[in-house]
Structure 1
Protein backbone atom coordinates (compact mmCIF):
# COMPACT_ATOMS: atom_id res chain seq x y z
CA UNK A 1 0.00 0.00 0.00
CA UNK A 2 1.16 3.53 -0.75
CA UNK A 3 0.63 6.11 1.95
CA UNK A 4 -0.90 9.46 0.96
CA UNK A 5 2.56 11.05 1.08
CA UNK A 6 3.98 8.35 -1.19
CA UNK A 7 1.31 8.35 -3.83
CA UNK A 8 1.02 12.14 -3.90
CA UNK A 9 4.79 12.32 -4.49
CA UNK A 10 4.48 9.86 -7.37
CA UNK A 11 1.56 11.82 -8.76
CA UNK A 12 3.52 15.07 -8.71
CA UNK A 13 6.57 13.47 -10.31
CA UNK A 14 4.37 11.95 -13.00
CA UNK A 15 2.70 15.27 -13.82
CA UNK A 16 6.07 17.02 -14.05
CA UNK A 17 7.45 14.36 -16.38
CA UNK A 18 4.32 14.45 -18.56
CA UNK A 19 4.55 18.24 -18.79
CA UNK A 20 8.17 17.98 -19.89
CA UNK A 21 7.37 15.39 -22.57
CA UNK A 22 4.48 17.42 -24.00
CA UNK A 23 6.01 20.90 -23.66
CA UNK A 24 6.83 21.37 -27.36
CA UNK A 25 3.34 20.38 -28.47
CA UNK A 26 1.62 22.54 -25.84
CA UNK A 27 3.78 25.60 -26.54
CA UNK A 28 2.99 25.45 -30.25
CA UNK A 29 -0.71 24.93 -29.56
CA UNK A 30 -0.73 27.95 -27.26
CA UNK A 31 0.63 30.06 -30.14
CA UNK A 32 -1.87 28.60 -32.58
CA UNK A 33 0.93 26.83 -34.46
CA UNK A 34 1.40 23.29 -35.67
CA UNK A 35 4.48 21.18 -35.06
CA UNK A 36 4.99 18.81 -37.97
CA UNK A 37 6.80 16.19 -35.89
CA UNK A 38 5.28 16.23 -32.41
CA UNK A 39 1.67 16.82 -33.52
CA UNK A 40 1.51 13.26 -34.86
CA UNK A 41 1.59 11.92 -31.31
CA UNK A 42 -1.61 13.81 -30.49
CA UNK A 43 -3.47 13.58 -33.81
CA UNK A 44 -2.80 10.08 -35.15
CA UNK A 45 -2.78 8.94 -31.52
CA UNK A 46 -5.46 11.38 -30.43
CA UNK A 47 -4.85 11.18 -26.69
CA UNK A 48 -4.30 14.63 -25.25
CA UNK A 49 -1.67 15.91 -22.80
CA UNK A 50 -4.23 15.92 -19.98
CA UNK A 51 -4.61 12.15 -20.34
CA UNK A 52 -0.86 11.67 -20.09
CA UNK A 53 -0.69 13.92 -17.03
CA UNK A 54 -3.25 11.85 -15.11
CA UNK A 55 -1.40 9.38 -12.89
CA UNK A 56 -2.70 5.93 -11.99
CA UNK A 57 -1.09 3.47 -9.58
CA UNK A 58 -1.68 0.48 -11.83
CA UNK A 59 -2.63 -3.05 -10.95
CA UNK A 60 -1.57 -4.39 -7.56
CA UNK A 61 -1.14 -1.12 -5.66
CA UNK A 62 -3.59 0.16 -3.05
CA UNK A 63 -3.67 3.84 -2.16
CA UNK A 64 -4.03 4.87 1.45
CA UNK A 65 -6.35 7.69 2.47
CA UNK A 66 -6.63 9.51 5.75
CA UNK A 67 -9.84 11.28 4.76
CA UNK A 68 -13.48 10.29 4.88
CA UNK A 69 -14.30 8.58 1.57
CA UNK A 70 -17.84 9.99 1.76
CA UNK A 71 -16.65 13.58 2.05
CA UNK A 72 -17.00 15.85 -1.00
CA UNK A 73 -13.85 16.30 -3.05
CA UNK A 74 -12.32 16.18 -6.52
CA UNK A 75 -13.41 12.68 -7.41
CA UNK A 76 -16.28 13.06 -9.88
CA UNK A 77 -15.91 9.65 -11.49
CA UNK A 78 -16.08 9.46 -15.26
CA UNK A 79 -18.32 9.19 -18.27
CA UNK A 80 -18.78 6.16 -20.45
CA UNK A 81 -16.41 5.51 -23.33
CA UNK A 82 -17.32 6.61 -26.82
CA UNK A 83 -14.23 5.27 -28.57
CA UNK A 84 -13.68 2.21 -30.72
CA UNK A 85 -12.01 -0.65 -28.91
CA UNK A 86 -10.62 -2.46 -31.93
CA UNK A 87 -6.94 -3.27 -31.87
CA UNK A 88 -5.46 -1.08 -34.55
CA UNK A 89 -8.81 0.35 -35.56
CA UNK A 90 -8.68 2.24 -38.86
CA UNK A 91 -10.42 5.14 -37.15
CA UNK A 92 -8.18 7.62 -35.36
CA UNK A 93 -7.51 6.65 -31.78
CA UNK A 94 -9.68 8.40 -29.22
CA UNK A 95 -9.40 8.68 -25.47
CA UNK A 96 -11.35 5.50 -25.01
CA UNK A 97 -9.29 4.11 -22.17
CA UNK A 98 -8.94 7.27 -20.14
CA UNK A 99 -12.57 7.29 -19.03
CA UNK A 100 -11.66 6.42 -15.47
CA UNK A 101 -10.05 7.97 -12.46
CA UNK A 102 -10.22 11.55 -11.25
CA UNK A 103 -11.11 14.08 -13.93
CA UNK A 104 -9.97 17.22 -12.14
CA UNK A 105 -6.51 18.00 -10.84
CA UNK A 106 -5.92 16.81 -7.33
CA UNK A 107 -4.44 19.28 -4.88
CA UNK A 108 -1.05 17.60 -4.91
CA UNK A 109 -0.81 17.38 -8.70
CA UNK A 110 -0.97 21.14 -9.12
CA UNK A 111 2.48 22.73 -9.52
CA UNK A 112 1.68 25.29 -6.81
CA UNK A 113 0.52 22.71 -4.28
CA UNK A 114 1.69 23.30 -0.69
CA UNK A 115 4.25 20.94 0.81
CA UNK A 116 1.62 19.25 2.99
CA UNK A 117 -0.79 18.71 0.10
CA UNK A 118 -0.67 14.97 0.70
CA UNK A 119 -2.72 15.50 3.85
CA UNK A 120 -5.43 17.61 2.21
CA UNK A 121 -8.75 16.35 0.91
CA UNK A 122 -10.16 12.88 0.27
CA UNK A 123 -8.63 10.35 -2.07
CA UNK A 124 -9.67 11.40 -5.58
CA UNK A 125 -10.28 7.84 -6.81
CA UNK A 126 -13.22 7.16 -4.47
CA UNK A 127 -16.20 6.43 -6.71
CA UNK A 128 -14.18 6.63 -9.94
CA UNK A 129 -14.81 4.16 -12.73
CA UNK A 130 -12.65 1.01 -12.66
CA UNK A 131 -11.62 1.66 -9.04
CA UNK A 132 -12.70 -0.17 -5.89
CA UNK A 133 -12.85 1.27 -2.37
CA UNK A 134 -12.03 -1.29 0.31
CA UNK A 135 -13.37 -1.53 3.86
CA UNK A 136 -10.23 0.09 5.28
CA UNK A 137 -10.69 3.15 3.04
CA UNK A 138 -7.91 2.26 0.62
CA UNK A 139 -8.55 2.31 -3.11
CA UNK A 140 -7.20 0.10 -5.89
CA UNK A 141 -7.88 -0.70 -9.53
CA UNK A 142 -10.85 -3.02 -10.02
CA UNK A 143 -9.29 -5.54 -12.40
CA UNK A 144 -12.34 -7.80 -12.31
CA UNK A 145 -14.66 -5.01 -13.49
CA UNK A 146 -12.25 -3.77 -16.16
CA UNK A 147 -11.72 -7.23 -17.63
CA UNK A 148 -15.44 -7.97 -17.52
CA UNK A 149 -16.12 -4.85 -19.57
CA UNK A 150 -13.09 -4.91 -21.88
CA UNK A 151 -11.92 -8.48 -21.86
CA UNK A 152 -12.09 -8.88 -25.64
CA UNK A 153 -9.94 -5.79 -26.16
CA UNK A 154 -7.41 -6.97 -23.59
CA UNK A 155 -7.31 -10.40 -25.27
CA UNK A 156 -6.50 -8.82 -28.64
CA UNK A 157 -3.84 -6.53 -27.22
CA UNK A 158 -2.26 -9.43 -25.34
CA UNK A 159 -2.20 -11.61 -28.45
CA UNK A 160 -0.51 -8.89 -30.50
CA UNK A 161 2.03 -8.04 -27.81
CA UNK A 162 2.96 -11.69 -27.34
CA UNK A 163 3.19 -12.38 -31.07
CA UNK A 164 5.59 -9.49 -31.61
CA UNK A 165 7.57 -10.32 -28.48
CA UNK A 166 8.14 -13.88 -29.71
CA UNK A 167 9.09 -12.86 -33.27
CA UNK A 168 12.62 -12.20 -34.51
CA UNK A 169 13.19 -8.56 -35.51
CA UNK A 170 13.95 -7.54 -39.09
CA UNK A 171 16.13 -4.54 -39.84
CA UNK A 172 16.07 -4.07 -43.61
CA UNK A 173 13.13 -1.73 -44.21
CA UNK A 174 15.18 1.48 -43.80
CA UNK A 175 12.09 3.55 -43.10
CA UNK A 176 10.93 3.45 -46.71
CA UNK A 177 7.28 3.49 -45.61
CA UNK A 178 7.47 7.30 -45.37
CA UNK A 179 8.90 7.49 -48.88
CA UNK A 180 6.16 5.21 -50.20
CA UNK A 181 3.56 7.61 -48.82
CA UNK A 182 4.68 10.34 -51.26
CA UNK A 183 5.77 8.23 -54.23
CA UNK A 184 4.49 9.67 -57.52
CA UNK A 185 1.96 11.79 -55.73
CA UNK A 186 1.46 15.37 -54.66
CA UNK A 187 3.22 16.38 -51.48
CA UNK A 188 1.01 15.44 -48.53
CA UNK A 189 3.08 17.08 -45.79
CA UNK A 190 3.84 20.75 -45.00
CA UNK A 191 7.59 20.02 -44.90
CA UNK A 192 9.32 20.12 -48.33
CA UNK A 193 11.03 17.07 -49.78
CA UNK A 194 14.76 16.94 -49.03
CA UNK A 195 15.73 15.53 -52.45
CA UNK A 196 12.89 16.95 -54.52
CA UNK A 197 10.17 15.03 -56.32
CA UNK A 198 12.21 13.22 -58.98
CA UNK A 199 15.01 12.02 -56.70
CA UNK A 200 12.52 10.95 -54.04
CA UNK A 201 10.73 8.73 -56.54
CA UNK A 202 14.08 7.32 -57.70
CA UNK A 203 14.98 6.29 -54.15
CA UNK A 204 11.73 4.32 -53.88
CA UNK A 205 12.34 2.67 -57.25
CA UNK A 206 15.90 1.71 -56.29
CA UNK A 207 14.87 -0.22 -53.18
CA UNK A 208 12.81 -3.24 -52.23
CA UNK A 209 10.03 -2.26 -49.83
CA UNK A 210 8.98 -4.74 -47.15
CA UNK A 211 6.67 -2.87 -44.79
CA UNK A 212 4.88 -5.17 -42.33
CA UNK A 213 2.80 -2.54 -40.52
CA UNK A 214 -0.73 -2.19 -41.81
CA UNK A 215 -1.29 1.29 -40.41
CA UNK A 216 1.74 2.51 -42.38
CA UNK A 217 1.01 0.49 -45.51
CA UNK A 218 -2.55 1.76 -45.81
CA UNK A 219 -1.17 5.27 -46.42
CA UNK A 220 1.04 4.22 -49.34
CA UNK A 221 0.18 5.96 -52.58
CA UNK A 222 -1.61 3.83 -55.19
CA UNK A 223 1.62 3.67 -57.19
CA UNK A 224 3.68 2.55 -54.18
CA UNK A 225 1.39 -0.12 -52.69
CA UNK A 226 2.13 -2.78 -55.36
CA UNK A 227 5.86 -2.28 -54.77
CA UNK A 228 5.57 -3.58 -51.20
CA UNK A 229 6.62 -7.22 -50.81
CA UNK A 230 3.88 -7.75 -48.21
CA UNK A 231 0.15 -7.08 -48.25
CA UNK A 232 -0.59 -6.35 -44.59
CA UNK A 233 -4.22 -6.25 -43.51
CA UNK A 234 -5.94 -5.77 -40.19
CA UNK A 235 -6.59 -9.51 -40.11
CA UNK A 236 -2.90 -10.37 -40.61
CA UNK A 237 -1.64 -7.86 -38.05
CA UNK A 238 -0.68 -10.46 -35.43
CA UNK A 239 1.06 -12.57 -38.05
CA UNK A 240 3.12 -9.79 -39.62
CA UNK A 241 4.06 -7.15 -37.06
CA UNK A 242 7.63 -7.51 -35.86
CA UNK A 243 9.79 -5.87 -33.18
CA UNK A 244 12.12 -4.10 -35.60
CA UNK A 245 9.25 -1.96 -36.91
CA UNK A 246 9.35 1.63 -35.69
CA UNK A 247 5.58 2.03 -35.95
CA UNK A 248 4.85 -1.20 -34.07
CA UNK A 249 7.07 0.10 -31.29
CA UNK A 250 5.40 3.52 -31.27
CA UNK A 251 2.07 1.73 -30.94
CA UNK A 252 3.03 0.51 -27.47
CA UNK A 253 1.90 3.93 -26.30
CA UNK A 254 -1.54 3.25 -27.77
CA UNK A 255 -1.78 -0.17 -26.14
CA UNK A 256 -0.74 1.28 -22.78
CA UNK A 257 -3.53 3.85 -23.01
CA UNK A 258 -6.11 1.26 -24.04
CA UNK A 259 -5.19 -0.92 -21.07
CA UNK A 260 -6.35 1.99 -18.97
CA UNK A 261 -5.97 2.01 -15.19
CA UNK A 262 -4.27 -1.39 -15.21
CA UNK A 263 -1.10 0.36 -16.42
CA UNK A 264 0.91 2.36 -13.87
CA UNK A 265 1.54 5.95 -14.86
CA UNK A 266 5.28 5.39 -15.01
CA UNK A 267 4.90 2.68 -17.66
CA UNK A 268 2.49 4.81 -19.68
CA UNK A 269 5.02 7.63 -19.84
CA UNK A 270 7.85 5.22 -20.64
CA UNK A 271 5.83 4.06 -23.66
CA UNK A 272 5.07 7.63 -24.70
CA UNK A 273 8.70 8.72 -24.30
CA UNK A 274 9.86 5.92 -26.58
CA UNK A 275 7.12 6.71 -29.11
CA UNK A 276 8.21 10.35 -29.19
CA UNK A 277 11.87 9.45 -29.68
CA UNK A 278 10.96 7.06 -32.49
CA UNK A 279 8.73 9.66 -34.13
CA UNK A 280 11.66 12.05 -34.45
CA UNK A 281 13.84 9.32 -35.95
CA UNK A 282 11.03 8.35 -38.31
CA UNK A 283 10.92 11.91 -39.64
CA UNK A 284 14.71 12.24 -39.81
CA UNK A 285 14.79 9.14 -42.03
CA UNK A 286 11.83 10.31 -44.11
CA UNK A 287 12.02 12.08 -47.48
CA UNK A 288 11.18 15.38 -45.77
CA UNK A 289 13.67 18.17 -45.08
CA UNK A 290 13.79 18.35 -41.28
CA UNK A 291 16.66 20.83 -41.09
CA UNK A 292 14.26 23.45 -39.73
CA UNK A 293 13.84 21.35 -36.58
CA UNK A 294 17.55 21.45 -35.69
CA UNK A 295 18.06 17.75 -36.34
CA UNK A 296 20.15 16.17 -39.10
CA UNK A 297 18.58 13.95 -41.75
CA UNK A 298 19.23 10.23 -41.75
CA UNK A 299 19.96 9.80 -45.46
CA UNK A 300 18.74 6.24 -45.89
CA UNK A 301 19.53 6.43 -49.61
CA UNK A 302 23.23 6.19 -48.64
CA UNK A 303 25.17 3.33 -46.99
CA UNK A 304 26.03 5.54 -44.00
CA UNK A 305 22.39 6.53 -43.57
CA UNK A 306 21.24 2.93 -43.74
CA UNK A 307 23.78 1.95 -41.09
CA UNK A 308 22.64 4.75 -38.78
CA UNK A 309 18.99 3.83 -39.26
CA UNK A 310 19.63 0.17 -38.42
CA UNK A 311 21.69 1.13 -35.36
CA UNK A 312 18.78 3.17 -34.00
CA UNK A 313 16.26 0.54 -35.08
CA UNK A 314 18.08 -2.14 -33.08
CA UNK A 315 18.17 0.07 -30.00
CA UNK A 316 14.46 0.87 -30.25
CA UNK A 317 13.60 -2.79 -30.78
CA UNK A 318 15.43 -3.83 -27.62
CA UNK A 319 13.81 -1.11 -25.52
CA UNK A 320 10.37 -1.79 -26.98
CA UNK A 321 10.61 -5.49 -26.21
CA UNK A 322 11.25 -4.62 -22.56
CA UNK A 323 8.11 -2.46 -22.57
CA UNK A 324 6.11 -5.28 -24.18
CA UNK A 325 7.15 -7.58 -21.36
CA UNK A 326 6.06 -5.02 -18.79
CA UNK A 327 2.67 -4.58 -20.48
CA UNK A 328 2.20 -8.34 -20.62
CA UNK A 329 3.11 -8.55 -16.94
CA UNK A 330 0.39 -5.98 -16.23
CA UNK A 331 -2.18 -8.05 -18.11
CA UNK A 332 -1.07 -11.21 -16.33
CA UNK A 333 -1.32 -9.56 -12.93
CA UNK A 334 -4.79 -8.22 -13.76
CA UNK A 335 -5.99 -11.67 -14.81
CA UNK A 336 -4.60 -13.22 -11.62
CA UNK A 337 -6.21 -10.58 -9.42
CA UNK A 338 -9.56 -10.89 -11.19
CA UNK A 339 -9.48 -14.67 -10.85
CA UNK A 340 -8.81 -14.39 -7.13
CA UNK A 341 -11.57 -11.85 -6.52
Structure 2
Protein backbone atom coordinates (compact mmCIF):
# COMPACT_ATOMS: atom_id res chain seq x y z
CA UNK A 1 0.00 0.00 0.00
CA UNK A 2 1.22 3.51 -0.80
CA UNK A 3 1.95 5.65 2.28
CA UNK A 4 -0.49 8.42 3.12
CA UNK A 5 1.22 11.79 2.52
CA UNK A 6 1.36 14.51 5.16
CA UNK A 7 2.50 17.97 4.11
CA UNK A 8 5.24 19.51 6.21
CA UNK A 9 3.04 22.07 8.04
CA UNK A 10 0.63 19.27 9.00
CA UNK A 11 3.14 16.87 10.47
CA UNK A 12 5.15 19.59 12.18
CA UNK A 13 1.97 20.84 13.86
CA UNK A 14 1.15 17.31 15.03
CA UNK A 15 4.66 16.87 16.35
CA UNK A 16 4.53 20.15 18.26
CA UNK A 17 1.15 19.28 19.77
CA UNK A 18 2.46 15.92 20.92
CA UNK A 19 5.52 17.51 22.51
CA UNK A 20 3.38 20.07 24.38
CA UNK A 21 1.11 17.33 25.66
CA UNK A 22 3.97 15.17 26.87
CA UNK A 23 5.86 18.08 28.40
CA UNK A 24 3.02 18.56 30.88
CA UNK A 25 3.92 15.12 32.28
CA UNK A 26 7.68 15.29 31.82
CA UNK A 27 8.50 18.72 33.24
CA UNK A 28 7.56 17.98 36.88
CA UNK A 29 9.20 14.54 36.74
CA UNK A 30 12.47 15.89 35.36
CA UNK A 31 12.48 18.68 37.95
CA UNK A 32 12.11 16.12 40.75
CA UNK A 33 14.82 13.96 39.22
CA UNK A 34 17.27 16.87 39.27
CA UNK A 35 16.68 17.46 42.99
CA UNK A 36 16.44 13.79 43.99
CA UNK A 37 12.82 14.12 45.09
CA UNK A 38 10.66 11.02 44.64
CA UNK A 39 6.93 10.74 44.03
CA UNK A 40 5.36 7.27 44.35
CA UNK A 41 2.52 8.07 41.95
CA UNK A 42 3.80 10.52 39.34
CA UNK A 43 7.26 8.98 38.87
CA UNK A 44 6.19 5.34 38.65
CA UNK A 45 5.65 5.18 34.89
CA UNK A 46 9.15 6.59 34.32
CA UNK A 47 10.90 4.21 36.70
CA UNK A 48 8.97 0.96 36.35
CA UNK A 49 8.72 1.03 32.56
CA UNK A 50 11.76 1.13 30.28
CA UNK A 51 10.54 3.92 27.97
CA UNK A 52 12.65 6.98 28.72
CA UNK A 53 11.20 10.51 28.89
CA UNK A 54 12.99 11.54 25.69
CA UNK A 55 11.52 8.53 23.88
CA UNK A 56 8.01 9.37 25.03
CA UNK A 57 8.46 12.94 23.83
CA UNK A 58 9.75 11.96 20.38
CA UNK A 59 6.98 12.01 17.81
CA UNK A 60 6.36 9.29 15.23
CA UNK A 61 3.44 9.26 12.80
CA UNK A 62 3.19 5.47 12.73
CA UNK A 63 3.43 3.12 9.79
CA UNK A 64 2.18 3.96 6.31
CA UNK A 65 2.75 7.72 6.43
CA UNK A 66 4.93 9.82 4.13
CA UNK A 67 6.23 12.97 5.78
CA UNK A 68 6.84 15.41 2.98
CA UNK A 69 9.93 17.57 3.37
CA UNK A 70 11.25 15.46 6.25
CA UNK A 71 14.85 14.38 6.64
CA UNK A 72 15.05 10.68 7.65
CA UNK A 73 18.02 11.46 9.88
CA UNK A 74 15.95 13.74 12.16
CA UNK A 75 13.29 11.08 12.68
CA UNK A 76 15.44 8.21 13.90
CA UNK A 77 16.44 4.79 12.74
CA UNK A 78 14.19 2.83 10.37
CA UNK A 79 13.16 5.96 8.47
CA UNK A 80 14.08 6.04 4.80
CA UNK A 81 13.93 8.68 2.10
CA UNK A 82 10.86 8.45 -0.13
CA UNK A 83 8.76 10.73 -2.31
CA UNK A 84 10.45 13.99 -1.40
CA UNK A 85 10.40 13.21 2.31
CA UNK A 86 10.68 10.28 4.69
CA UNK A 87 8.67 7.22 5.65
CA UNK A 88 9.08 4.38 8.09
CA UNK A 89 10.65 1.10 7.04
CA UNK A 90 7.87 -0.81 8.75
CA UNK A 91 9.35 -4.29 8.29
CA UNK A 92 12.62 -3.30 9.96
CA UNK A 93 10.87 -1.61 12.89
CA UNK A 94 8.35 -4.40 13.36
CA UNK A 95 11.03 -7.08 13.43
CA UNK A 96 12.31 -5.75 16.78
CA UNK A 97 8.93 -5.41 18.46
CA UNK A 98 8.10 -9.08 19.24
CA UNK A 99 4.80 -8.25 17.58
CA UNK A 100 3.33 -11.81 17.43
CA UNK A 101 3.67 -12.22 21.22
CA UNK A 102 2.10 -8.83 21.88
CA UNK A 103 -0.66 -9.45 19.36
CA UNK A 104 -1.63 -12.74 21.00
CA UNK A 105 -1.64 -11.20 24.47
CA UNK A 106 -3.83 -8.30 23.37
CA UNK A 107 -6.25 -10.58 21.51
CA UNK A 108 -6.62 -13.15 24.27
CA UNK A 109 -7.02 -10.49 26.95
CA UNK A 110 -9.68 -8.67 24.93
CA UNK A 111 -11.62 -11.91 24.39
CA UNK A 112 -12.01 -12.65 28.11
CA UNK A 113 -14.68 -11.46 30.48
CA UNK A 114 -13.53 -8.76 32.89
CA UNK A 115 -13.28 -9.55 36.61
CA UNK A 116 -13.54 -6.87 39.26
CA UNK A 117 -13.11 -8.74 42.53
CA UNK A 118 -9.43 -8.26 43.34
CA UNK A 119 -9.96 -4.97 45.24
CA UNK A 120 -6.34 -3.91 44.76
CA UNK A 121 -4.95 -6.50 47.16
CA UNK A 122 -1.78 -6.81 45.08
CA UNK A 123 -0.33 -3.65 46.67
CA UNK A 124 -1.17 -4.96 50.12
CA UNK A 125 0.47 -8.31 49.32
CA UNK A 126 3.64 -6.43 48.38
CA UNK A 127 4.05 -5.20 51.98
CA UNK A 128 2.58 -8.25 53.75
CA UNK A 129 4.61 -9.20 56.85
CA UNK A 130 7.41 -6.77 56.02
CA UNK A 131 9.27 -4.63 58.51
CA UNK A 132 9.05 -0.84 58.04
CA UNK A 133 12.58 -0.83 56.60
CA UNK A 134 11.62 -3.44 53.99
CA UNK A 135 8.54 -1.63 52.67
CA UNK A 136 9.15 -0.43 49.12
CA UNK A 137 7.82 3.13 49.49
CA UNK A 138 8.92 3.50 53.11
CA UNK A 139 9.21 7.28 52.82
CA UNK A 140 5.42 7.21 53.14
CA UNK A 141 3.54 5.75 56.11
CA UNK A 142 1.11 2.87 55.97
CA UNK A 143 -2.48 3.76 56.81
CA UNK A 144 -2.84 0.79 59.18
CA UNK A 145 -0.49 -0.91 61.59
CA UNK A 146 1.58 -3.84 60.23
CA UNK A 147 -0.68 -6.28 62.08
CA UNK A 148 -3.86 -4.68 60.73
CA UNK A 149 -2.39 -4.57 57.22
CA UNK A 150 -1.61 -8.28 57.43
CA UNK A 151 -5.13 -8.98 58.65
CA UNK A 152 -6.62 -7.25 55.59
CA UNK A 153 -4.58 -9.50 53.31
CA UNK A 154 -5.45 -12.63 55.26
CA UNK A 155 -9.19 -11.94 55.41
CA UNK A 156 -9.66 -10.69 51.82
CA UNK A 157 -9.53 -13.10 48.92
CA UNK A 158 -6.32 -12.36 47.01
CA UNK A 159 -6.75 -13.26 43.34
CA UNK A 160 -4.13 -11.39 41.35
CA UNK A 161 -3.86 -12.62 37.74
CA UNK A 162 -1.04 -10.33 36.63
CA UNK A 163 2.46 -11.80 36.77
CA UNK A 164 4.30 -8.49 36.95
CA UNK A 165 2.29 -7.55 40.02
CA UNK A 166 2.43 -11.02 41.59
CA UNK A 167 6.21 -11.22 41.28
CA UNK A 168 6.51 -8.33 43.77
CA UNK A 169 4.43 -10.15 46.42
CA UNK A 170 6.33 -10.91 49.59
CA UNK A 171 7.21 -14.56 50.02
CA UNK A 172 4.60 -15.10 52.78
CA UNK A 173 1.90 -13.50 50.58
CA UNK A 174 2.36 -15.67 47.51
CA UNK A 175 0.66 -18.80 48.91
CA UNK A 176 -2.38 -16.65 49.77
CA UNK A 177 -3.02 -15.81 46.10
CA UNK A 178 -5.61 -17.98 44.35
CA UNK A 179 -3.40 -18.05 41.25
CA UNK A 180 0.31 -18.57 40.64
CA UNK A 181 0.87 -16.55 37.45
CA UNK A 182 4.13 -16.92 35.55
CA UNK A 183 5.58 -15.27 32.47
CA UNK A 184 4.86 -18.47 30.58
CA UNK A 185 1.17 -18.39 31.55
CA UNK A 186 0.72 -14.65 30.99
CA UNK A 187 -1.40 -15.17 27.87
CA UNK A 188 -3.65 -17.55 29.81
CA UNK A 189 -4.20 -15.30 32.83
CA UNK A 190 -4.50 -11.65 31.86
CA UNK A 191 -8.01 -10.23 31.81
CA UNK A 192 -9.39 -6.82 30.82
CA UNK A 193 -10.60 -5.78 34.27
CA UNK A 194 -7.09 -5.90 35.73
CA UNK A 195 -5.63 -2.48 36.50
CA UNK A 196 -2.12 -3.60 35.68
CA UNK A 197 -3.11 -5.25 32.41
CA UNK A 198 -4.72 -1.96 31.38
CA UNK A 199 -1.77 0.07 32.62
CA UNK A 200 0.50 -2.17 30.52
CA UNK A 201 -1.20 -1.02 27.33
CA UNK A 202 1.34 1.78 27.57
CA UNK A 203 4.15 -0.80 27.53
CA UNK A 204 2.78 -2.62 24.49
CA UNK A 205 2.23 0.68 22.70
CA UNK A 206 5.79 1.89 23.14
CA UNK A 207 7.23 -1.52 22.32
CA UNK A 208 5.31 -1.38 19.03
CA UNK A 209 6.51 2.18 18.34
CA UNK A 210 7.43 3.62 15.90
CA UNK A 211 5.08 1.42 13.86
CA UNK A 212 2.40 2.62 16.30
CA UNK A 213 2.09 6.39 16.29
CA UNK A 214 3.15 8.52 19.24
CA UNK A 215 -0.34 9.90 19.81
CA UNK A 216 -1.56 6.37 20.63
CA UNK A 217 1.42 5.80 22.91
CA UNK A 218 0.55 9.05 24.71
CA UNK A 219 -3.12 8.02 24.99
CA UNK A 220 -2.02 4.80 26.69
CA UNK A 221 0.38 6.70 28.95
CA UNK A 222 -2.40 9.05 30.02
CA UNK A 223 -4.65 6.15 30.98
CA UNK A 224 -1.80 4.37 32.79
CA UNK A 225 -1.07 7.52 34.77
CA UNK A 226 -4.66 7.72 36.01
CA UNK A 227 -4.73 4.00 36.80
CA UNK A 228 -1.56 4.36 38.86
CA UNK A 229 -3.29 7.04 40.90
CA UNK A 230 -6.13 4.67 41.80
CA UNK A 231 -3.62 1.87 42.38
CA UNK A 232 -1.88 3.89 45.07
CA UNK A 233 -5.03 5.43 46.54
CA UNK A 234 -6.25 1.87 47.15
CA UNK A 235 -2.89 0.75 48.48
CA UNK A 236 -1.97 0.48 52.18
CA UNK A 237 0.07 3.71 51.90
CA UNK A 238 -1.15 7.02 53.28
CA UNK A 239 -0.67 9.48 50.40
CA UNK A 240 -3.22 12.07 51.51
CA UNK A 241 -0.41 14.62 51.88
CA UNK A 242 0.17 14.30 48.13
CA UNK A 243 -3.48 15.05 47.40
CA UNK A 244 -4.49 11.40 47.00
CA UNK A 245 -7.17 10.50 49.58
CA UNK A 246 -7.43 6.77 50.21
CA UNK A 247 -9.87 4.35 48.69
CA UNK A 248 -10.37 2.23 51.79
CA UNK A 249 -10.56 -1.23 50.25
CA UNK A 250 -10.42 -2.71 53.73
CA UNK A 251 -14.10 -1.66 54.02
CA UNK A 252 -17.17 -2.72 51.99
CA UNK A 253 -17.71 0.88 50.87
CA UNK A 254 -14.11 1.18 49.71
CA UNK A 255 -14.28 -2.09 47.80
CA UNK A 256 -17.41 -0.92 46.01
CA UNK A 257 -15.70 2.38 45.13
CA UNK A 258 -12.63 0.55 43.85
CA UNK A 259 -14.67 -1.81 41.67
CA UNK A 260 -16.58 1.13 40.15
CA UNK A 261 -13.31 2.85 39.22
CA UNK A 262 -11.96 -0.44 37.91
CA UNK A 263 -14.96 -0.88 35.62
CA UNK A 264 -14.59 2.65 34.29
CA UNK A 265 -10.92 2.08 33.51
CA UNK A 266 -11.71 -1.21 31.78
CA UNK A 267 -14.22 0.59 29.56
CA UNK A 268 -11.63 3.22 28.67
CA UNK A 269 -8.91 0.64 28.08
CA UNK A 270 -10.96 -1.51 25.69
CA UNK A 271 -10.80 0.84 22.66
CA UNK A 272 -7.09 1.48 23.25
CA UNK A 273 -6.41 -2.26 23.35
CA UNK A 274 -8.42 -2.65 20.14
CA UNK A 275 -6.52 0.17 18.42
CA UNK A 276 -3.23 -1.54 19.27
CA UNK A 277 -4.58 -4.90 18.18
CA UNK A 278 -5.90 -3.50 14.90
CA UNK A 279 -2.57 -1.84 14.19
CA UNK A 280 -0.41 -4.87 14.86
CA UNK A 281 -2.83 -7.19 13.02
CA UNK A 282 -2.89 -4.96 9.95
CA UNK A 283 0.89 -4.67 9.93
CA UNK A 284 1.38 -8.39 10.39
CA UNK A 285 -0.56 -9.25 7.23
CA UNK A 286 1.11 -6.68 4.99
TM-score (norm 2): 0.93
Q: Does 1:141 align with 2:145?
A: no
**Could you say which structure has the higher helix fraction?**
2
Equivalent residues of 1:213, 1:248 under 8 A apart: yes
Q: What are the residue-to-residue correspondences of 1:8-23 with 2, within 5 Å?
A: 8-23=12-27
Name 1:4's counterpart in structure 2: 8
The number of residues matched between the two structures is: 278
| Structure 2 residue corresponding to 1:308, chosen from 241, 251, 257 | 257
Equivalent residues of 1:59, 1:333 under 8 A apart: no
Gaps of 5+ in 1: 70-74, 77-123
Name 1:89's counterpart in structure 2: none
Q: Does 1:162 align with 2:107?
A: yes
Deviations 1:197-228 (A, max 9, x none): 11111111111110000011111111110000
- Measure the CA separation in 1 of the matches of 2:106 and 2:55: 23
Equivalent residues of 2:103, 2:281 under 8 A apart: no
| Structure 2 residue corresponding to 1:188, chosen from 126, 129, 136 | 136
SS in 2 for 1:62: strand
Q: Could you list the structure 1 runs, at least 4 aligned residues long, displaced by more than 3 angstroms after superposition.
A: none
- Measure the CA separation in 2 of the matches of 1:242 and 1:23: 33
State the Cα distance separating 1:49 from its structure 2 match.
1.4
Q: What are the residue-to-residue correspondences of 1:191-206 with 2, within 5 Å?
A: 191-206=140-155
Equivalent residues of 1:158, 1:328 under 8 A apart: yes
SS in 1 for 2:141: coil
| Structure 2 residue corresponding to 1:291, chosen from 229, 240, 249 | 240
State the Cα distance separating 1:137 from its structure 2 match.
1.6
Considering only CA atoms, is the larger Rg found in Structure 1 or Structure 2? 1
Name 1:253's counterpart in structure 2: 202
Greater shift in the superposed pair: 186-195 or 264-273: 186-195
- Measure the CA separation in 1 of the matches of 2:136 and 2:223: 26
TM-score (norm 1): 0.79
- Measure the CA separation in 1 of the matches of 2:284 and 2:77: 18
Q: RMSD value over aligned CA atoms?
A: 1.4
| Structure 2 residue corresponding to 1:276, chosen from 219, 222, 225 | 225
Q: What are the residue-to-residue correspondences of 1:204-243 with 2, within 5 Å?
A: 204-243=153-192
Equivalent residues of 1:165, 1:324 under 8 A apart: yes
Gaps of 5+ in 2: none
